[in-house]
Amino acid sequence: MTETFQGTDPSQLDDHAFAVWAAEQAGAVLLEVRAAADERGLEGKALKDAGDAAAQEVLARVLGEHRPDDAVLSEEAADDKVRLEASRVWIIDPLDGTREFSEPPRDDWAVHVALWQDGDLVAGAVAQPALGETFNTGTPRQVPARTADRPRIAVSRTRPPAFVEALAAEIDAELVPMGSAGVKVMSVVRDLADAYVHAGGQYQWDNAAPVAVARAAGLHCSRVDGSPLVYNEDDTSLPDLIVCRPELAEEIIAFVRAHGTD
């Protein structure tokens, strides 16, 4: 993945390309951690922890070196409140989908790198290293016309929420189980699903980069009540979202407003 940037000074990359480069640097290290897991005796929680630590170290280092004036909000680091006064904040999830990462050869885990600037997301990349792809805002996917007869809703493979099952019944949709939040959003970008609807609790780093990429691809992104997704807030919780094809948004939001998410 990273061959594209060989010989390039990352400090000179624009923010879109830098997000890709940074996500792929972390992704390459995660693949190395996974490949060496048997030799190091890593499995389960130990493999998850090793992946989190390795990817955080890479992203912290490259951001500190090549974007030293920017603030950072990361799942794997203490929340430095200086970000609340900063005009540029990188919102990162070094390893989204630790469960799937710890279950080789699953590919439904990701690295999230997003840039918030002056009130909104302006760049982002979601790397799926085991898939060999990085979805990004610099060269966004153009989502093709829907190919499925019934709407497909991406859901957790371990704990699909009951309200989404009720939504699926209401709009005659099929539920498609898969791993990380980023992978679920990218499944809509990739036309593997038509919507991802979540209300079980997330944080800004879980969806900032995926939402930036999904917006660039022309998808609808909002809270489940239709209100905007807001980032770099003091409270890092961002518990619910909808990412879907624009033609499904009104119907999904109307269902949630009528029935709630309990």
- Kindly report, residue by residue over 134-159, the tens digit of the pLDDT: 999 999 998 888 888 899 999 987 77
* HSE toward the beta carbon, residue 95, CA cutoff 13 A: 28
Got the DSSP string for 63-87?
Answer: HHHHSTTSEEEETTS---GGGGG-S
User: What distance in Å separates the CA atoms of residue 206 and residue 150, rounded to the nearest whole number?
Assistant: 27
pLDDT class for 179, splitting at 50, 70, 90? confident
Give the confidence band of 262 by pLDDT, cuts at 50, 70, 90. Answer: confident
Of 144-158, 161-175, 218-232, which range is least confident?
144-158
CB atoms within 10 A of CB 259: 12
Whether the CB-CB separation of 19 and 113 falls below 8 Å is answered with yes
**Separation of CA 37 from chain center:** 24
Give the CATH number for residue 227. 3.40.190.80
pLDDT at 1 over 50: no
SS3 content of the chain, % helix, strand, coil (to 5): 40, 20, 35
pLDDT of 213 > 90? The answer is yes
pLDDT (tens digit per residue) in 75-131: 999 999 999 999 999 999 999 999 999 999 999 999 999 999 999 999 999 999 999
Q: How far apart are CA 138 and CA 126, in angstroms?
A: 12
227 plus 160 within the same structural domain: yes
Tell me: do 123 and 238 sit in the same domain: no
Examine the domain organization and report whether 68 and 189 are in the same domain.
no
**Contact call for residues 145 and 156 (beta carbons, < 8 A):** no
Model pLDDT, residue 4: 61
Instruction: Identify whether the C-beta of residue 44 lies closer than 8 Å to the C-beta of residue 166.
Output: no
Domain end (from 112, 136, 160): 136
Lookup: tokens for 78: 């203490």
215 within some domain: yes
In a domain? residue 142: no
Number of domains forming the structure of the chain: 2
pLDDT tens, 242-257?
999 999 999 999 999 9
Query: What is the rounded (10 degree) CA torsion for 9, 12, 18, 24?
Result: -10
In a shared domain, residues 130 and 231: no
Q: Compute the average pLDDT of residues 204-220.
A: 97
Q: Are residues 132 and 156 in the same domain?
A: no
pLDDT tier at 208 (50, 70, 90 boundaries)?
very high
Range of the domain at 25: 2-136
